[in-house]
């Protein structure tokens, strides 16, 4: 995190803490919710719904609040904060979460899901339960899964049609070693970097590209800096609405139910909003001059991932079963 962001984050955190203290005993302690996205983004809409249902459903006994735009820190830091109780709840992508939840890392194997429907099917079944158990073991109570579509590569230089086109280009990836391996296997160079630094880095030419879904590509403004979007759809990553496990465990049964119902309703709204917004954002970036190229033959990209699967299964024998289960569920 850069210094300005860190100072701002600390100031905001201190203010939030001060406000909670000033509120005194009569009022609920505010549950601070970390969100990386701006207002109006599908995740933000879902999280705001969750907060609203909690606040209303408890007649103000509980108070959840969403802090947007990553002002409470970047994602890997926020994951630690929610685990430790410095923050209360959040919506995380399973990519960076995979670094501390081995079960969750299987979804970061590129091309593991055929499409969104297959991802939903797997996450709604026994594999999803094992991933949830892993998240719980890490000190986070998983409440509901949100959608984040499919991620594709974009860059400032040219359309990517085959892996060789990535040669010599530097791509920002999220914090997870599997993504560094992924870009390297395709012939490019990977640089893990906080989301909030990508726009500037594209503008300055520090990186040539990155990868994301349409709504993030649009809302982050990356589409203004990197005009070539190549539909590789190499990752279909679920996201999870979760809270500090000790906080969840401390709730009464009625409040646990309130939290779970609110999470479910928020996820329904988030998923419905997602499919609408993803389409709209594709049109919006195209209208702004972005060159989108579909990739008819994804086989060369998929083939290049084989060594990553082999290494992963060798190093994580416990997760190898999960990989097989995901593959079998999609046959
Ligand atoms: C978005 C995701 C965020 C964050 C971001 C990134 O699609 O919703 O949680 O992971 O991508 O690229 O860092």
Q: Is the pLDDT of residue 213 over 60?
A: yes
Q: What are the pLDDT digits (tens) for 68-116?
A: 999 999 999 999 999 999 999 999 999 999 999 999 999 999 999 999 9
**Ligand 1: centre distance to CA 252 (Å):** 33
Residues 96 and 79 sit within 8 Å (Cβ to Cβ)? yes
Topology (CATH) of 30-148+238-280 = D-Maltodextrin-Binding Protein; domain 2 (3.40.190)
- Tokens 């779970």 label which residue? 260
Using DSSP, state whether 267 is helix, strand or coil. Answer: helix
As a whole number, the mean pLDDT across the chain is 93
Parallel, antiparallel or unpaired: strands 209-212 and 239-244: unpaired
pLDDT of residue 28: 78
Q: Whole-angstrom Cα distance, residue 320 to residue 61? A: 45
Q: Is the pLDDT of residue 2 over 50?
A: no
CATH number assigned to the domain with residue range 150-236+292-329, chosen from the 4 options 1.10.3210.10, 3.40.190.170, 3.40.50.2000, 3.10.350.10: 3.40.190.170
Pocket test for ligand 1, best of 34, 75, 221 (most atoms within 8 A of CB): 75
Q: What residues line ligand 1, using a CB cutoff of 6 Å?
A: 36, 75, 93, 95, 148, 174, 195, 212-213, 216, 239
Q: Whole-angstrom Cα distance, residue 110 to residue 98? A: 13
pTM of the full predicted structure?
Answer: 0.92
Confidence class for position 27, pLDDT limits 50, 70, 90? low
Atom 3 in ligand 1: residue holding the nearest Cα? 93
Are the folds of 30-148+238-280 and 150-236+292-329 the same?
Answer: yes
Atom 9 in ligand 1: residue holding the nearest Cα? 93
Using DSSP, state whether 153 is helix, strand or coil. Answer: strand
Q: Whole-angstrom Cα distance, residue 235 to residue 226? A: 19
Confidence class for position 188, pLDDT limits 50, 70, 90? very high
**Ligand 1: centre distance to CA 235 (Å):** 12
**Ligand 1: centre distance to CA 175 (Å):** 10
Angle at 100 between CA 73 and CA 78, to 5 degrees: 10
pLDDT of residue 12: 52
Q: Which residues pair with 82 in a beta bridge?
A: none
Q: What are the pLDDT digits (tens) for 252-267?
A: 999 999 999 999 999 9
Domain ranges for the chain = 30-148+238-280, 150-236+292-329
Q: What kind and span of H or E run contains 33?
A: strand 30-34
Atom 6 in ligand 1: residue holding the nearest Cα? 195
Please give the number of the atom of ligand 1 that sits closest to the Cα of 91.
9
**Ligand 1: centre distance to CA 215 (Å):** 10
Atom 5 in ligand 1: residue holding the nearest Cα? 195
What DSSP character marks residue 165? G
Please give the number of the atom of ligand 1 that sits closest to the Cα of 215.
7
What DSSP character marks residue 29? P
Pocket test for ligand 1, best of 152, 171, 213, 216 (most atoms within 8 A of CB): 216
Q: Whole-angstrom Cα distance, residue 255 to residue 293? A: 48
Confidence class for position 7, pLDDT limits 50, 70, 90? very low
Q: What are the pLDDT digits (tens) for 128-143?
A: 999 999 999 999 999 9
């Amino acid at each position: 995190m850069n210094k300005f962001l860190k100072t701002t984050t600390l100031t905001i955190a201190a203010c939030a803490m001060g406000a909670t203290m000033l509120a005194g005993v009569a009022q609920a302690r505010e549950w601070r919710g970390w969100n990386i996205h701006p207002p109006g983004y599908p995740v933000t809409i879902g999280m705001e719904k969750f907060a609203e249902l909690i606040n209303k459903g408890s007649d103000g006994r509980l108070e959840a609040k969403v802090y947007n735009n990553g002002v409470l820190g970047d994602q890997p830091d926020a994951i630690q904060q929610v685990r430790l109780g410095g923050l209360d709840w959040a919506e995380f992508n399973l990519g960076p979460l995979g670094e501390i939840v081995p079960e969750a890392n299987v979804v970061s194997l590129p091309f593991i899901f055929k499409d969104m429907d297959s991802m939903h099917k797997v996450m709604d079944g026994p594999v999803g339960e094992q991933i949830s158990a892993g998240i719980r073991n890490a000190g986070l109570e998983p409440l509901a899964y949100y959608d984040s579509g499919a991620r594709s590569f974009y860059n400032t230089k040219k359309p990517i049609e085959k892996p060789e086109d990535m040669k010599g280009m530097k791509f920002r990836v999220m914090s997870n070693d599997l993504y560094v391996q992924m870009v390297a296997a395709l012939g490019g160079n990977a640089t893990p970097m906080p989301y909030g630094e990508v726009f500037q880095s594209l503008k300055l030419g520090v990186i040539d590209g990155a990868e994301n879904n349409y709504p993030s590509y649009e809302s982050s403004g990356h589409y203004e800096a990197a005009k070539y979007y190549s539909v590789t759809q190499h990752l279909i990553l679920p996201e999870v609405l979760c809270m500090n496990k000790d906080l969840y465990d401390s709730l009464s049964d009625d409040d646990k139910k309130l939290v779970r119902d609110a999470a479910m309703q928020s996820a329904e709204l988030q998923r419905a909003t997602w499919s609408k917004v993803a389409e709209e954002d594709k049109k919006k970036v195209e209208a702004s001059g972005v060159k989108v190229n579909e990739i008819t033959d994804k086989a060369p990209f998929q083939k290049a991932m084989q060594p990553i699967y082999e290494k992963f299964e060798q190093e994580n024998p416990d997760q190898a079963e999960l990989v097989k289960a995901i593959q079998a569920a999609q046959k």
